[in-house]
Chains A and B, each alone.
Chain A
Amino acid sequence: MTTKVTSTPVPPTRRRGTEAARARQAFWLLLPTLIAIALVAGYPLYRTIFFALFEADLTTPDQRTFLGLGNFWFTTEEGVALGFLQDPKWWEAVKNTMLFTVVSVFLETVFGMIIALVVNSAFKGRAFLRTAMLVPWAIPTVVSAQMWAYMYNDSFGLVGRGLLGGQALLANTDTAIWALIAVDVWKTTSFMALLILAGLQSLPGDMYEAADMDGASKWTQFWRLTLPLLRPALLVALVFRSLDALRVFDIMYVMLGANNAAATSMTGYARQAMIDNSMLGMGSAVAVAIFLIIMVIVVVYVTAFRVKFD
Chain B
Amino acid sequence: MKKAIAILGLTTALAGASQAGAVTVTLACGTVGQELQLCKEGAARWAKKTGNTVKIFESPNLTNDRLGLYQQQLAAKSSDIDVYQLDVIWPGLLSQHFVDLKGKIPASEVNTHFKGIVAANTVGGKLVSMPWFTDAGLLYYRTDLLKKYGYNAPPKTWAEMATMARKIQSGEQKTNKGFAGFVFQGKNYEGLTCNALEWVSSFGGGTIVDDSGKVTINNAKAALALDTAAGWIRDISPRGVTTYGEEEARGIFQSGNAAFMRNWPYAWALGQSDDSKVKGKIGVAPLPAGVGGKPAATLGGWNLGVSQYSKNQAAAIDLVRYLTGPAEQKIRAIEGAYNPTITTLYQDKAILAKNPFFGSLYSVFTNAVARPSGPTKSKYNQVSQAFSTAVSSVLNGNTKGQAAVAKLNTDLARIKGRGW
Interface residues of A in 195-229 (CB under 8 A from B): none
**Is B175 located at the chain interface by the 8 A CB criterion?**
no
Selected contact of B414 from candidates A80, A153, A155, A160, CB within 8 Å: A80
Mark interface residues in B237-260 (1 if CB within 8 Å of A CB, else 0). 011101101001001100001000
B178 pairs with A155, CB closer than 8 A: yes
Whether A154 touches B396, Cβ cut-off 8 Å, given contacts A82-B414, A161-B178, A259-B385, is no
Interface residues of B in 205-249 (CB under 8 A from A): 238-240, 242-243, 245, 248
Shortest B94–chain A CB gap in Å is: 7
Query: Given the complex of chains A and B, what is the CA–CA distance between A249 and B370 in angstroms?
Result: 32
Choose the segment among B67-75, B99-107, B316-324 that binds chain A (4+ C-beta atoms closer than 8 Å): B67-75
B74 pairs with A59, CB closer than 8 A: yes
Query: Given the complex of chains A and B, what is the CA–CA distance between A259 and B387 in angstroms?
Result: 11
Mark interface residues in B183-212 (1 if CB within 8 Å of A CB, else 0). 000011100000000000000000000000
Whether A277 touches B240, Cβ cut-off 8 Å, given contacts A58-B71, A172-B396, is no
A156 pairs with B64, CB closer than 8 A: no
Shortest B240–chain A CB gap in Å is: 3
A166 pairs with B385, CB closer than 8 A: no
Residues of A within 8 A of B417 (CB): 76, 80, 82
Shortest A79–chain B CB gap in Å is: 10
Query: Given the complex of chains A and B, what is the CA–CA distance between A172 and B399 in angstroms?
Result: 12
A154 pairs with B96, CB closer than 8 A: no
Shortest A31–chain B CB gap in Å is: 30
**Is A141 located at the chain interface by the 8 A CB criterion?**
no
**Is B52 located at the chain interface by the 8 A CB criterion?**
no
Q: Which single residue of chain A is at the shortest CB-CB distance from B398?
A: A172
B188 pairs with A259, CB closer than 8 A: yes
Whether A155 touches B240, Cβ cut-off 8 Å, given contacts A58-B71, A277-B381, is yes
**Is B369 located at the chain interface by the 8 A CB criterion?**
no
Query: Given the complex of chains A and B, what is the CA–CA distance between A152 and B245 in angstroms?
Result: 15
A171 pairs with B398, CB closer than 8 A: no
Shortest A171–chain B CB gap in Å is: 4
Q: Which single residue of chain B is at the shortest CB-CB distance from A87?
A: B414
Residues of B within 8 A of A67 (CB): none
Q: Which single residue of chain B is at the shortest CB-CB distance from A273?
A: B382
Number of residue pairs across A and B with beta carbons under 8 Å?
94
A257 pairs with B187, CB closer than 8 A: yes
Residues of B within 8 A of A257 (CB): 187-189, 245
Shortest A208–chain B CB gap in Å is: 50
Interface residues of A in 70-104 (CB under 8 A from B): 76, 80-82
**Is A60 located at the chain interface by the 8 A CB criterion?**
yes
Shortest A56–chain B CB gap in Å is: 10
**Is A109 located at the chain interface by the 8 A CB criterion?**
no
Looking at chain B's contact residues, the main secondary structure is helix
B243 pairs with A171, CB closer than 8 A: yes
**Is B298 located at the chain interface by the 8 A CB criterion?**
no
Selected contact of B257 from candidates A81, A155, A166, A256, CB within 8 Å: A155
**Is A57 located at the chain interface by the 8 A CB criterion?**
yes
Whether A155 touches B252, Cβ cut-off 8 Å, given contacts A80-B414, A166-B238, A276-B385, is yes
Interface residues of A in 246-292 (CB under 8 A from B): 256-260, 262-263, 272, 275-278
Shortest A107–chain B CB gap in Å is: 24
Shortest B251–chain A CB gap in Å is: 8
A277 pairs with B189, CB closer than 8 A: no
Whether A171 touches B257, Cβ cut-off 8 Å, given contacts A166-B238, A276-B64, A276-B381, is no
A76 pairs with B385, CB closer than 8 A: no
**Is A115 located at the chain interface by the 8 A CB criterion?**
no
A154 pairs with B239, CB closer than 8 A: yes
Query: Given the complex of chains A and B, what is the CA–CA distance between A262 and B392 in angstroms?
Result: 14
Query: Given the complex of chains A and B, what is the CA–CA distance between A85 and B398 in angstroms?
Result: 24
B239 pairs with A168, CB closer than 8 A: yes
**Is B403 located at the chain interface by the 8 A CB criterion?**
no
B385 pairs with A59, CB closer than 8 A: no
Selected contact of A168 from candidates B75, B242, B379, B381, CB within 8 Å: B242
B242 pairs with A258, CB closer than 8 A: no
**Is A53 located at the chain interface by the 8 A CB criterion?**
no
Residues of A within 8 A of B180 (CB): 155
**Is A48 located at the chain interface by the 8 A CB criterion?**
no
Residues of B within 8 A of A82 (CB): 414, 417
**Is B413 located at the chain interface by the 8 A CB criterion?**
yes
**Is B126 located at the chain interface by the 8 A CB criterion?**
no
Query: Given the complex of chains A and B, what is the CA–CA distance between A166 and B173 in angstroms?
Result: 14
Query: Given the complex of chains A and B, what is the CA–CA distance between A84 and B252 in angstroms?
Result: 39
**Is B366 located at the chain interface by the 8 A CB criterion?**
no
Query: Given the complex of chains A and B, what is the CA–CA distance between A82 and B413 in angstroms?
Result: 10
**Is B341 located at the chain interface by the 8 A CB criterion?**
no
Query: Given the complex of chains A and B, what is the CA–CA distance between A171 and B243 in angstroms?
Result: 6
B418 pairs with A259, CB closer than 8 A: no
Selected contact of B240 from candidates A171, A262, A276, CB within 8 Å: A171
Interface residues of B in 66-122 (CB under 8 A from A): 67-68, 71-72, 74-75, 93-94, 96-97
Shortest A51–chain B CB gap in Å is: 12
B188 pairs with A160, CB closer than 8 A: no
**Is A52 located at the chain interface by the 8 A CB criterion?**
no
Q: A160-B240, A161-B178, A172-B398 are in contact. List 15 more A-B contacts (CB 8 A).
A: A59-B74, A59-B94, A60-B75, A60-B96, A80-B417, A153-B248, A155-B178, A166-B238, A167-B239, A171-B243, A257-B187, A259-B392, A275-B68, A276-B64, A278-B378
- 8 A–B contact pairs at CB < 8 A? A168-B238, A168-B239, A168-B240, A257-B188, A257-B245, A259-B389, A262-B385, A278-B71
Residues of chain A at the chain B interface (Cβ within 8 Å):
57-61, 76, 80-82, 152-156, 160-161, 166-168, 170-172, 256-260, 262-263, 272, 275-278
